[in-house]
Each structure stands twice: as structure tokens, then as C-alpha cells.
Amino acid sequence: MGITATIREPAEGLTVPGKKSLDPILKTENLWKLYRAGKVDVPALRGVNFAVAPGESVAVMGPSGCGKSSLLYVIGGLAQASKGRVLVDGNDLSAMSDAERTKLRRSKIGFVFQRFNLLPTLPAKGNIAIAQFIHGDGFDPHRFEVVTSLLGLAGRLQHKPSELSGGEQQRVAIARAIINEPKILLADEPTGNLDSKNSEVVLQMLRQLNKDLGQTIVMITHNPEATAYFDRVVHMRDGVIVDGVPAD
Amino acid sequence: MMGELVVRNLIHRPLRTLIGVLAVGVEVALIVLIVGLTSGMLSETAKRIEGIGADIMVQPPAASILINFSGSPMPTKIGEKLAELKYVQATAPALLQFNSSGSVDTIWGIEPESFRAVSSGFVFLEGHDLEGPDDILVDDWAAKAKNLKPGDTFNLLNHDWHVAAIIEHGKGARLFVPLTTLQDLVGAHDKASIFLIKCTRPEHTEDVMAEARQLIPGYTIRPLSAFLSLMTSTNIPGLQTFINVMIWLAVTIGLLVVFLTMYTTVIERTRDIGVLKSLGAGRAFIVRALLTESAGLCLIGILAGIGLSYLARAAFLAGFPTLSILITWPWILRAGGIALLGAMLGASYPAWIASRKDAVEALSYD
Ligand SMILES: Nc1ncnc2c1ncn2[C@@H]1O[C@H](COP(=O)(O)OP(=O)(O)OP(=O)(O)O)[C@@H](O)[C@H]1O
Ligand SMILES: [Mg+2]
């Protein structure tokens, strides 16, 4: 597919193929992110306008250093926007304090990383349960059962991350990310450290989460084949989104 | 869940945890033992003085309750005057000589008859009373420590003594020799360090003390029953300060080790902290997790410290039977509380650092 030079206008009422027209669950307006490197500000995001409808799955692609991770961190409230607005489920993150963003992240965002990022001292079960604990509702055995069996983790729950394969670790990480039913699942190259077989398993599970549970997903990937599992692909370059053509 | 996280983290690095536990254990044991040793020695000394069985002790002006270290001796004539007071049944002089060469001992020079008159007398376990000028009475604890039995020769103050008897402990001193021999030996002719007074009835103690104060103004006159309550570290100049300094030192060691342990923990787990933040953990959660962890570490350390205290006491007493170390639960609890406070203080800066880490930077930490 070709990359158009025009910057996409912010979507107001998005139309997703096969889905109803809905207000976006996630929306950025002229979003800037500057990093301070010595005495100069390095722009990582330079006016990103981006919207995701509830239940949509979006793949974000782009060359290294174009700002994909930065976008994900700002959307997820891990980093503060420098300029512009970030609306998650109607809440403006750019106007929030660090503590408020933490609270929003706790209830509405799930993160999956390239490096799995499981807590090494806890077994798989503890890694998932700690998300429920931090969320504050305590251990919910029913939800736990649903999520772990969906991700095929039933037999591996007592194992520590070091005793799990990369694919298993990433599935634990996904389970941890969705255990609290977040509005949006954000994944930063989740298959980047996996072989093709495990990548496929993870991608299939993400698609299943999206199709069966209606989980909204935004995933960064370098793998063009991965985009086939998603509703829509977005391309970034030099801190801006350069298209928004639906994948299918 | 927090408990599981803490326990798992503690066993994840067993050596580091062990070092932290040992540091806190040593801290607690140091406090318990220092306090136990001083209070043990003091109360043991006080009991020994009380155990003499006399009613009043007269000491030189401004004398310490640690009678071993009580300034220049008084003329024995004072004793004769005291004996003439109403309600006084008997008086006895004693010359106290502190000896620190070889072992630390206080030797009492006494007259067997007058000492027997003011006290209820010695209980002889083996041997006989002071008869010859070179006789020495040794109490059972000292005999055990020095491995002595009646008939042995024993050099003290550059003098060869003949062990006349092993007596039951608890009569003021552990070593008794004839007064005149000791006076000659230390060049204090007709001098005594203390006078013991026995009243005709114990109820007359106050009256006799009042009379004695008129007779010899300025001298230190105390009922023997007061020694137990007076013999505390706060009444001994410098001792309480010494104890406090030792406690501060112990706490500082514990605090620094906990600080270092938690600091390295925080650095090692930088990424985990980022992960917790990505899961929505706030600053309070991070602080709580780390403080709970150091509290856990500290609690194990306190238990180790209690064990260590009893172990060290057993070892000390095996080596030095005359030592008295008083381990009390109030002080174990206090030492534990002090250690816990120190640990929280030591962990608070690392916890604060952790809570302030930037989530994105933490997540990209290697
Ligand atoms: N903490 C930082 N300080 C300074 N510059 C940063 C920082 N983080 C990112 N950048 C810069 O911001 C730009 C965007 O980085 P970002 O990590 O978002 O890119 P990316 O698209 O995720 O790249 P990749 O595909 O390699 O992961 C890059 O030029 C990067 O060097
Ligand atoms: Mg990236």
C-alpha cells in the first residue's frame, strides 16, 4: 500500500468496516512529544492526530525512531504529552497530573511490551494476579480462569518467567494486561522477541481477544505479515501519522 | 499479594537478604547484650551488697554507688565512733581494693569477727574462715572462673594467697582477705573504704542514719536496701551515655546496611518498578512495597537477633562465669522496635527514589 503525504484529519465519528459508527475510545489531537536531550528538545511526536474506535484493532508501523513507542507511552499515560490532547474514554490525559494518569492507566489501559517485562520473582500466576491486586479489586478467580484458559496458560501458572518460553512469557504478559478488562490494550512490538511460530500464536490470540471479547487493541509492529490480523494499519514517519488506510 | 511479592523478592536474592538479616540481627543482639550486661552486672552487684545483711553503708563524701571506685579511704576510727551510736548493734570496716591485672576483681579486706557481726556470716561450701594473714576466701563463681579450691595458692596484688575456703556468692565481694594484710599491702594503714552498720532492729535504720549524719557530716550514708533501686545505669555517671552511644552505633550499622540492601534492590529492580507503574501502581504502592520488604527483612533480623543474644550470652557465660547478662523481654521488644524504626528510615530514601522513577525510563533500563 502507498503512503500518502497528507496528514489525516482527526476522526470524529469513525466508521469501522463491519462495526457500528461510534465515538472513538481513543483520540489524539495535534499531539506533540518532546524529549529533552542536553540543551535541545528532540521532537518524537510532531502533531499526531489519531483515533481508534471501541472494539477496533489497529497496527502501527513505521521506521525505527519515528515515534511509535512514544505515541504508545503518551496514549497509555506513561509519559506526559508536551502539547495537544489525548482523550482516553473521554478523559483528557494531557491535562492530568501524574497521579491521575496512574489511576486512569490502572483502570483503562493494558500494556504489552517487546521484552515481556514479567516480574522475575513471581510465578506466572502471581504476575497476572498482581495486576488485579494493583487494580484494587483483589483476586477474581472467575476472570482469572477465563483469561488464562483463553491464553492457554493453565498448565504453566506455577512457573517463574525464567522457566517459561518466550511465547509463554508473552502470553502471561497479555493475560496480565487484560485481566482487569482495560478499555484499550497497547502492545509495543509484542512479537519482536519471538520466533515466527510463537509470533503467530500471539497474534492469533490478540485477534481472538479482539474478535471474541471486543478488546480494543493498538499494536506496534515491524512485521508486515502481522498487520493481516488487524482491522486497520496506520503508518508513522518522523513523528506524524502519514495514512490511515484500512487493512482489508 | 503484597506479602507474596515481598517474600518472593526476599528469597530471590538469598545472600543479600542474609546479609541484611545478619546486620539487623547483630544490631538487635548488640543492644540487648549491652543493656543486658550493664543491667545484669549492676543488679548483680546491688544484690550482692544487699546480700551482706547489714543495714547501712557509710562511704567517703561524694562516693559513687559503685563502691569499688570510691575515692580515698576513711580512718577506721570513724567506725569506732559509729559503734557508739544508739541502736547500733555492730559496725565493720572494709578496705576495698580494685585489681585489674590478669582479671578484674575487687578484693575486700575485712575483720572476720566484725564482718560476721554485721552480716549473717558466710556460707562455707568448702574450707574454713580467714585464720592466717595470707588466707583468702573465694566465692563459688570466682572459684569456678579461676579454677580454685581450698589449699590452692593464688597470686593477687603481687601477693601469694592461700585459699582458705570457697564461700557461697552474694556477700558483697567475691574475694575476701584479712583487713590488716590488705592495709599493709596497699599502704593504707588504719584505713577503710566503707563501714557497714547493723542496727539493733531494722526499723531503726532511719534513726541511725540521721544520727550518723550528725556525727560525720558530708559522708555518704545509705541504707543497703537502696542499692538495688539506685544501681541503674542512669545513676552511674557516663554509663547511660555510653549505652546510648552504643545503641546509636548499632542502629547506624543496621540502618546503613538496610539502606544499602534496599538501594541495590531498587537499582536492580528498576525495570520491575517501571512494570509496576505501567500496571497502574502509584507512588504510594511502590513505597509501600519496598517498606514492607525492608520491614520483612528487619523482622527476620530481629528474630535472628534474639537467637543471637541468647547464643552470645551462653557463650560469654561459659567463658566468664562471673558475668551477669540480663536479657529481658521489654528490652528485646525495645531493641526490635528501634531496629524496625532504623530499617524504615534506611529504606525510606531508596523507596522514595523508586517511587519517583520515570516509568518510561525505568522500562527501558537494562
Ligand atoms: N528519553 C528520550 N530522550 C531523548 N530522546 C528520545 C527519548 N526516547 C526517545 N527519544 C527519541 O524520540 C524518537 C522517537 O523514539 P521512539 O522510541 O518513540 O521511536 P520508535 O518508533 O518506537 O522506534 P523503534 O521502532 O526503534 O522502537 C527517536 O528519535 C528517539 O531517539
Ligand atoms: Mg519503539
CA distances from A232 to A45, A53, A54, A246 (A): 21, 11, 13, 4
Other Cβ atoms closer than 10 A to B92: 25
State the total domains in chain A: 1
Residue of B nearest to A77 (CA): B278
Q: What is the reported pLDDT for A9?
A: 41
Q: Residue B362: helix, strand or coil by DSSP?
A: helix
Q: What does pLDDT average to in each consecutive run of 10 residues of chain B (366 residues)?
A: 91 94 96 93 86 91 71 85 92 89 83 92 93 94 90 92 94 93 91 93 92 91 86 81 93 95 95 95 95 96 97 92 89 95 96 95 90
Long-range contacts of B184-191 (CB under 8 A, 24+ apart): B185/B97, B185/B157, B185/B159, B186/B95, B186/B97, B186/B157, B188/B73, B188/B95, B190/B75, B190/B76, B190/B77, B191/B73, B191/B74, B191/B75, B191/B76, B191/B95
Domain of A184, CATH number, reads: 3.40.50.300
pLDDT band at A14 (very low <50, low <70, confident <90, very high): very low
Q: What is the pLDDT of residue B70?
A: 57
Collapsing DSSP to helix, strand or coil, B98 comes out as strand
Please identify, by atom number, the ligand 1 atom nearest to the C-alpha of residue A70: 18
Count the neighbouring beta carbons within 10 Å of the beta carbon of residue A3. Answer: 12
CA distances from A185 to A194, B178, B292 (A): 19, 94, 31
Residue B53 CA to ligand 2 centre (angstroms): 87
Q: Write down the pLDDT at residue A21.
A: 56
Q: Where are the alpha helices (DSSP H) in chain B?
A: 2-12, 14-50, 77-83, 112-118, 140-146, 179-186, 205-215, 227-230, 239-268, 270-278, 283-319, 329-356, 359-363
Disruptive mutation site among A45, A78, A82, A172 for chain B (greatest number of B CBs within 10 Å):
A78
Q: Which ligand lies nearest to the CA atom of residue A78 in the structure?
A: 1
Predicted pLDDT of residue B105: 80
Of ligand 1's atoms, which has the minimum distance to the CA of residue A33?
12
Q: Which chain A residues in 195-224 lie under 8 Å from chain B, judged by CB atoms?
A: none
How confident is the model over B337-361, as pLDDT tens digits? 999 999 999 999 999 999 999 999 9
Is B59 within 8 Å of B219 (Cβ atoms)? yes
Give the atom of ligand 1 at the shortest distance from the alpha carbon of A42: 5
How many alpha carbons fall within 13 Å on the CB side of residue B194? 31
DSSP, res B238: T
Q: Is the ipTM reported for this complex over the cut 0.85?
A: yes
Q: Which residues of A touch B285 (CB under 8 A)?
A: 134
Q: Helix (H, G, I), strand (E, B), or coil: what is residue B53?
A: coil
Q: What is the mean pLDDT of chain A?
A: 89
Among A68, A61, A8, A62, smallest CA distance to A228 is for A61
Residue B101 · residue B214 · CB < 8 Å: no
Q: For atom 7 of ligand 1, which residue has the closest CA?
A: A35
Residues of B with Cβ-Cβ distance to A120 under 8 angstroms: 12, 272
pLDDT for A186-226, tens place per residue?
999 999 999 999 999 999 999 999 999 899 999 999 999 99
Instruction: Find chain B residues with C-beta within 8 A of A99's C-beta.
Output: 282-283
CA distance A24 to A142: 29
Helix (H, G, I), strand (E, B) or coil at B57: strand
What is the domain range of residue A84? 3-246
* Contact: B9, A121; criterion CB under 8 Å: yes
A121 contact partners, CB below 8 Å, separation of at least 6:
A160, B5, B8, B9, B11, B12
pLDDT value at residue A12? 47
Distance CA B356, CA B287 (A): 10
Q: Residue A15: is its pLDDT beyond 70?
A: no
pTM of the full structure: 0.81
Query: pLDDT band for position A3 (50/70/90)?
Result: very low
Residues near A86 by beta carbon (within 8 Å), at least 6 away in sequence? A27, A28, A31, A74, A75, A77, A92, A93, A94
Residue A211's contacts (CB-CB under 8 Å, 6 or more residues apart) are none
Of B88, B98, B105, B99, the residue nearest B196 (C-alpha): B88
pLDDT score for B68? 64
With beta carbons less than 8 A apart as the criterion, state whether B207 and B86 touch: yes
CA B34 to CA B327: how far, in whole Å?
Answer: 10
Express each pLDDT in A91-146 by its tens digit.
Answer: 999 999 999 999 999 999 999 999 999 999 999 999 999 999 999 877 888 999 99
Taking the C-alpha atoms of residue A66 and residue A72, their distance in angstroms, rounded to an integer, is: 12
- Cα–Cα distance between B15 and B12 in angstroms, integer? 9
Q: How confident is the model at residue A245 (pLDDT cuts 50, 70, 90)?
A: very low
A44 C-alpha to center of ligand 1: Å? 6
